[in-house]
Structure 1
Amino acid sequence: MYSVKGIISSSYSSSNIIGYSKMLLEMGVVMMMVMSSCMSCVKAGNFNEDFDLTWGGNRAKRFEKGQLLTLSLDRVSGSGFQSKKEYLFGRIDMQLKLVAGNSAGTVTAYYLSSEGTTHDEIDFEFLGNVTGQPYILHTNIYAQGKGGREQQFYLWFDPTKNFHTYTLIWRPQDIIFMVDNTPIRVFKNAESMGVPFPKNQPMKIYSSLWNADDWATRGGLVKTDWSHAPFTAYYRNFNAQAFTRAAAEEASQFSDGKWQNQELDAYSRRRLRWVQRNFMIYNYCTDYRRFPQGFPPEC
Structure 2
Amino acid sequence: MAVPATKKPLLLSFLGFGFFVLVASAGSFYESFDITWGDGRADIYESGQLLTCTLDKVSGSGFQSKREYLYGKIDMKLKLVAGNSAGTVTAYYLSSKGATWDEIDFEFLGNLTGQPYTIHTNVFTGGKGDREMQFRLWFDPTAGFHTYTVHWNPLNIIFLVDGIPIRVFKNNEKNGVAYPTSQPMKIYSSLWEADDWATQGGRVKTDWSNAPFRAHYRNFDDKSSCSRTSNLTWVTCDGNKNSWMWTTLNDRQIGQMNWVQKEFMIYNYCTDYKRFPQGFAKECYL
Do both proteins adopt the same fold according to a TM-score greater than 0.5, normalized to the shorter chain? yes
Q: Which of 127, 130, 143 is the equivalent residue of 1:145?
A: 127
Confirm or deny that 1:233 pairs with 2:215.
yes
What's the offset of the Cα at 1:249? 5.4
Q: Which of 271, 276, 286 is the equivalent residue of 1:291?
A: 276
Question: Equivalent residue for 1:67?
Answer: 49
Q: Which of 239, 244, 247 is the equivalent residue of 2:227?
A: 244
Confirm or deny that 1:170 pairs with 2:152.
yes
What letter corresponds to residue 54 of structure 1 in structure 2? T
Q: In structure 1, how many angstroms separate the alpha carbons of the residues matched to 2:124 and 2:268? A: 15
Q: Higher relative contact order by CA 8 Å / sep ≥ 6: 1 or 2? A: 2
What's the offset of the Cα at 1:196? 1.2
What's the offset of the Cα at 1:264? 1.6
Q: Deviations over 1:9-43 (max 9, x none)?
A: xxxxxxxxxxxxxxxxxxxxxxxxxxxxxxxxxx9
Q: In structure 2, how many angstroms separate the alpha carbons of the residues matched to 1:148 and 1:99? A: 26
Over the residues paired in the alignment, what is the CA RMSD in angstroms?
Answer: 1.6
Q: Deviations over 1:108-150 (max 9, x none)?
A: 0000001111111000000000000000000000001110000
Confirm or deny that 1:276 pairs with 2:261.
yes
Q: Deviations over 1:139-186 (max 9, x none)?
A: 000001110000000000000001000000111111000000000000
What letter corresponds to residue 97 of structure 2 in structure 1? E
Q: Percent identity?
A: 65
What's the offset of the Cα at 1:44? 4.6
Question: Equivalent residue for 2:84?
Answer: 102
Q: Deviations over 1:224-280 (max 9, x none)?
A: 00000000000000001211159x9546x1131231113322211110100011100
Question: Equivalent residue for 2:101?
Answer: 119
Runs of 4+ in 1 over 3 A off after TM superposition: 248-251
Q: In structure 1, how many angstroms separate the alpha carbons of the residues matched to 2:211 and 2:100? A: 36
Confirm or deny that 1:205 pairs with 2:187.
yes
Cα separation, partners in 2 of 1:148 and 1:279, compared to 1, 3 Å: same
**What SS is found at the alignment partner of 1:58?**
coil
Whose strand proportion is higher, 1 or 2? 2
TM-score (norm 2): 0.87
TM-score (norm 1): 0.83
Q: For 1:174-185, what aligned pairs fall within 5 Å after superposition?
A: 174-185=156-167
Structure 1, unpaired ranges of 5+: 1-42
**What SS is found at the alignment partner of 2:256?**
helix
What letter corresponds to residue 271 of structure 1 in structure 2? Q
Confirm or deny that 1:264 pairs with 2:249.
yes
Number of equivalences: 256
Whose helix proportion is higher, 1 or 2? 1
Q: In structure 2, how many angstroms separate the alpha carbons of the residues matched to 1:85 and 1:73? A: 25
Question: Equivalent residue for 2:71?
Answer: 89
Q: In structure 1, how many angstroms separate the alpha carbons of the residues matched to 2:90 and 2:177? A: 28
Q: In structure 2, how many angstroms separate the alpha carbons of the residues matched to 1:261 and 1:213? A: 40
Confirm or deny that 1:195 pairs with 2:180.
no
What letter corresponds to residue 278 of structure 1 in structure 2? E
